[in-house]
Structure 1
Amino acid sequence: MAGLSLRCGDCGALLKSVEEAQEHAELTSHANFSESTEAVLNLVCSTCSKPCRSKTEMDLHTKRTGHAEFADKTSETAKPIDLEKPAKADGGTEESAAGAESSQSEEMVVPEVDQKMLEELESMGFPIARATRALHYSGNSSIEAAINWVAEHEDDADIDQMPLVPMNAKSEDSKIALTPEEMKMKAQELRERARKKKEEEERRMEREREKERIRIGKELLEAKRIEEENERKRILMLRKAEKEEEKRAREKIRQRLEEDKAERRRKLGLPPENPEAAKPATPPVEEKKSFLPVKPVTKAEHMRDCLRSLKQHNKDEDAKVKRAFQTLLTYVGNVARNPDEEKFRKIRLNNPSFQDRVGSLQGGIQFLEICGFEKLEGDEFLFLPRDKVDMAVLNSAGSELNSAINNPFFGVL
């Protein structure tokens, strides 16, 4: 079967004649051609009558113009290829002239593009076929437009094939080629469009960043609220624990007072008090009130005994004794003046200063216990609960200490 086309062995393009093969070789430097029985497609647009030589070219035409109906006239125009280059002759029959005119009307040629922009694209590394195709389909408007076209169509199968257009279309394209002013306006329009697109993208990114800032702000507020709520719960738990500790301390003091009371009755030779018999007689509050007038007198005697014992065990160290009395007077006076301040009602027993002045001397800690202080937390602190602060006892303690400090014969006899 006679060949219907010439196939380029380098790029696979189908060519209708020897002349097309020569032009293709000049443009692409391809030299490997072979005869093929596959006819060159002739898909004619039903709307504008533009012929397309491949499915890819037809798809591009549809994408640019929206024309989607094509008539396949390949079989009508297919004819055996003449491998002999026709000679030029001045004369000829009407039939040969008509045949020449018909072949010329169907001949496909490489479109004309701006040579300066083509050279610039080649210097950037683009193949000549890809650069020619990009400039042709971008309208020879600008380098930017050609590069954008390549970026959008880099996955096309024929991206590196030299574009071909009918010769009459080439002449029409040359007629409507853009002037330098029009090209400049076109480039300006493309730059303006790119600027607007960039501004729109920046506005979109700013909106996204604002949304992110709002979201982070809400999360921070929620985290702060949760932290404050946890802090309130922690403070409530601490207060509850302090109340329970104070309650246990009061109960411990009450038990100790009961034991001291029982011990005093035993020393005085009195029978043990019957709590069941004492309860109906007077309420606990009234019993406390009834003992107030007697309590300071009894405690004052115990205080004098503690101070006298301290003086007698350190009778050769008057300065040390006087310093102990003044330290005890400071503790008692601070509590009497500031009964609500816990720091004045709590003394660390292992404090070096306290041990040197009071703790290491016999009778010093006993004197504070008579004033209402009690040992807590494994005998680490002396603590006077707020509800156990008795101003009468503290005043009596102050009087006894002043007497011991100012009386030079205290504890001598």
Structure 2
Amino acid sequence: MAGGLSLRCGDCGAHLKSVEEAQEHAELTSHANFSESAEAVLNLICTTCSKPCRSQTEVDLHTKRTGHADFVDKTLEAAKPIELEAAAKPKDDVVVAAEEGAAAAPSEGGQSEEMVVPEVNKSMLEELESMGFPTARATRALHFSGNSSIEGAINWIAEHEDDPDIDEMPLVPAETKAEANKPSLTPEEMKLKAQELRERARKKKEEEEKRMEREREKERIRIGKELLEAKRIEEDNERKRLLALRKAEKEEEKRAREKIRQKLEEDKAERRRKLGLPPEDPGAAKPSAPPVEEKKSSLPIKPATKAERMRDCLRSLKQHHKDEDAKVKRAFQTLLTYVGNVARSPDEEKFRKIRLTNPSFQERVGNLRGGIEFLEICGFEKLEGDEFLFLPRDKVDISVLNIAGSELNSAIANPFFGVL
């Protein structure tokens, strides 16, 4: 059935325009004493920003905050009756209990519960009695209309005048009466209650943020572990790839040695055939050479030639950097450039003078073992506190430079140079 135009909280006096607002108010404040009101909720609309205000206090606050002072009253346009059938069910239960004449109802523990007459607004009760309504009817009307107004009580009487118990005094449990008589909150208490609710909501929000932060931290740790594991797997795969590459290079080198050995054997067999000698029996064991007694020779030992010394320098450079083929090849080509420039233009001093501290020279030749020694064999000398390598014009030996160029070309072109 159609009810009033609004609901009013009996605990704090809040004015609510729908059952949904009353439910939300009950969840926030734990208030449960609501009554129907024929007074519509105030609806004042700001003409500047269209903000709705439900009380004069809200109007004053809005004006103070924004400076807007013009409002249009649309209370009657927005007002509509509230359906209270679902909310009226607890009251119907009380009516049924009163119709059955139960002055006392059994409690959960099996004991009888005391039933008493509910307290109503005395001034409104006297006014209804002065209008000619019996005390029981007026009390019942005020109680079930929520003690809201005289109009609400009269409307309730008009709707229930055919009820058989209309003139019977209503009865409610004593606890219900005590709750009904509970004094409403003062403005200070309402302010404290609202502050408590805000504090509770703030703590709940902080707890939720902490929980979310813990979840995010767990996710970061998980992602970090996955990245570390992926990096470890990638490093393992790279290590395995390098090992496989090194193994393949060794196999290739082994096959190259075997190919050279077979070529030497073929050449040897060909020479024996040309000389008319029988083929060498591979099964025949070669006689071991008798131990040669070491004798001190009084003859002078022939010193190694410059070509041999150059070859030893280049071989040492290759062996000490055997895993850096590109760097070795670049060093050989740089040395060939130095030697070739001097051989082509021996009178040009710029080709015969090299600064040892030059970064490019150090990177290409100076930092590699055997590089500077090779240039010294070619005739270069260290000058000015080992700051320069210099080849004097009168010490330029074209034949030595040609030997150096030949050794460098051989080292660059022979892939097995320094390996066998």
Q: Which has the higher helix share?
A: 1
The two structures have a TM-score, normalised by structure 1, of 0.41
TM-score calculated relative to the size of structure 2: 0.40
